[in-house]
Amino acid sequence: MEKEGYKKLAKYYDEIYQNKDYSNEIKFLIEILNKHNSKKILDVGCGTGTHISLLEKADFECTGIDLNIEMLKIANKKVKAKLLQANMSDFNIDEKFDAIICMFASFNHLLSIRESIKALRCFYKHLKKNGILILDLHNSKTKGSKEDNFKNIYRKMSWDYNSGTKIETTKVVFRVPEGLIEDKHLMRIFSINEMNELLSGVGFKNIQILGGYKQKVANGDSKNLEVIGQK
């Protein structure tokens, strides 16, 4: 979603994604984090702070960054974590973390390999030795459309994937109490091989690519990819 669309829709964001299976995602995250004895977590692209809120309930110490100040204002009401406005490919925090998570396809919004590498280097810099990175990637390569009715919002969306550019384009119309909001967002779809090469090229080791928030190796048909790398 483009920056302006996110700003306008920030207050409706949690309503739009009220049916998202956060509990399954958090269960997966906690399993990975506990396996690596990770307690100090940075959530990159934290949005309205739902993942942080659930991790805090499990006694993790969290920090969150997001580019959207309106999202951060909402997150600030939900979490204890320190929240910072920053770009995921160019941030500088004067501390290091046991783990960095980047959920809900936030990384897919980096449309070029150059920006992706820049972000991965930034993540790597902010991890402690043997710290882990967990990326949650969108992996759909389809064409389709859907409509949703929520309490305050109607949403109509259509999407298409260009195999040449590896870009998925989604067009959305929202009807909210203030009127209509039209939006378009682009996401870069990464292959399993690409992610292996990108992470190893930056210096990550012990790379795993899992699918469906399960401890199972992903394949090309997995709707989501959970990419894990260790510093």
Which helix (H) or strand (E) segment is 3 a member of? helix 3-9
By the 10 Å C-beta count (0-12 exposed, 13-18 middle, 19+ buried), 117 is classed as middle
Domain map (residue ranges) of the chain: 3-139+190-230, 144-185
- What distance in Å separates the CA atoms of residue 71 and residue 51, rounded to the nearest whole number? 13
Q: Which residues, in sequence order, are CB contacts of 77 under 8 Å at separation 6+?
A: none
Residue 159: count other Cβ atoms within 10 Å of its Cβ. Answer: 17
- pLDDT by residue for the chain (231 residues), tens digit each? 445 566 788 999 999 999 999 999 999 999 999 999 999 999 999 999 999 999 999 999 999 999 999 999 999 999 999 999 999 999 999 999 999 999 999 999 999 999 999 999 999 999 999 999 999 999 988 999 999 999 999 999 999 999 999 999 999 999 999 999 999 999 999 999 999 999 999 999 999 999 989 889 998 888 999 999 999
- What distance in Å separates the CA atoms of residue 65 and residue 85, rounded to the nearest whole number? 6
Helix/strand/coil for 80 = coil
Fold entry, domain 3-139+190-230:
Rossmann fold (3.40.50)
- What distance in Å separates the CA atoms of residue 103 and residue 135, rounded to the nearest whole number? 6
